[in-house]
Amino acid sequence: MRTLAETALALVDSGRGILAADESIGTMSQRLTAEGIAPTEENRRRYRELLLTPRGLSRMVSGIILCDETLRQQVATVDGNVAFPLAAKQCGILPGIKVDAGTTSLAFGHGALVTEGLDGLRDRLAEYADLGAAFAKWRAVIDVETATEHSIEVNAHALARYAALCQEQGIVPIVEPEVLCAGAHDIGRCEEVTDRTLAAVFAQLRLQKVEPEAMVLKPNLVTPGTTGPSVTPSHVADATLRVLERHVPSTVPGIAFLSGGHDNATACQYLAALNGIAVGAPWRLTYSFGRALVSDALHAWGGEDANLSDAQATLLSNCARAAAALEGAEPAPASA
Q: Name the active-site residue from 218, 245, 304, 330.
A: 218
DSSP 8-state secondary structure symbol assigned to residue 118: -
Distance of alpha carbon 163 from the chain centroid: 15
218 among known catalytic residues: yes
**DSSP letter string over 136-166?**
EEEEEEE-TTT--HHHHHHHHHHHHHHHHHH
Start-to-end CA distance of the chain, whole Å, equals 44
Task: State which H helix or E strand residue 238 sits in.
Answer: helix 233-247
DSSP code of residue 332: P
Handedness of CA 40, 46, 47, 49 (dihedral sign): positive
Q: Cα separations (Å) of 305 from 29, 163, 198, 302?
A: 18, 39, 44, 9
81 burial level (CB within 10 Å; 0-12, 13-18, 19+): exposed
Catalytic residue among 176, 191, 209, 327: 176
> Is residue 198 classed exposed, middle or buried when 0-12, 13-18 and 19+ CB atoms within 10 A define those classes?
buried
Q: Is 41 a catalytic residue?
A: no
DSSP label at 21? -
Determine the angle formed by the axes of helices 233-247 and 187-207, rounding to 10 degrees.
30
- Tell me the H-state helices in 2-148: 4-11, 25-34, 41-52, 68-71, 84-90, 121-131
Report residue 77 CA to chain centroid gap.
27
Q: Rounded to whole angstroms, how far apart are CA atoms 39 and 30? A: 7
Q: Which residues contact 26 (CB under 8 A, 6 or more apart)?
A: none
Catalogue the active-site residues.
176, 218
